[in-house]
Amino acid sequence: MLLIAGLGNPGARYSRNRHNIGFMAIAAIAAQHRIGPFRARFQGAAAEGMIGDVRATLLMPQTFMNESGRSVGEAMRFHKLDVGDVAVMHDELDLAPAKVRVKTGGGNAGHNGLRSISAHIGNDYRRVRLGIGHPGDRALVHSYVLSDFFKDEIGWVEAVCDAVARFAALLAQGQDASFQNKVHLAVEAAGFGDKKDDGPDA
């Protein structure tokens, strides 16, 4: 089994925030692969189903971002999974909007959700980094991630979530580089991103 957690904050007031793109991606995967309904479990909203030939639990922690690790850790322990069976989808300031990168382990780059997860389960889980861009000033980061996507950004957000959902079976099978490349090409074909893919992260 694979545990795929999307990060965000619970409640309608946060639902369109940049910080909630992980929730958006999970919702797209659930719709694409007909997984659901979501139920209150593991201090989150969880649903189980098949992504390709891999059984997966989709999880949206409802603990608020800073305590995401409590929810992810509970789900991982319940299913008796290893840290390598966990993938986390999250907003990434250090990637341009519409860029998607997959990496295992590494630093948390100030992301409180990742910091919490690493504290609860260790650091060697996979991260699906969903680029949202940077406001350009560290002092603006907090308000930037907790503000809604602008109307003219919704197109690329939907294109990214759709591509992540369509190719989620590759991620489930551990084919991270193929998943990343397919997502990149699909987002580009939808008219977003750029023409250059700088390859997978180490």
Task: Report whether 141 contacts 135 (CB < 8 A).
Answer: yes
Residues that are catalytic = 19
State how far the Cα of 10 lies from the Cα of 63, in Å rounded to an integer: 7
Task: Report whether 7 contacts 146 (CB < 8 A).
Answer: no
Question: What's the pLDDT at 109?
Answer: 76
State how far the Cα of 121 lies from the Cα of 127, in Å rounded to an integer: 13
Domains of the chain from N-terminus onward = 2-189 (3.40.50.1470)
Question: What's the pLDDT at 46?
Answer: 98
* pLDDT at 197 exceeding the cut of 90: no
Q: What is the pLDDT of residues 119-149, one digit of tens each?
A: 999 999 999 999 999 999 999 999 999 999 9
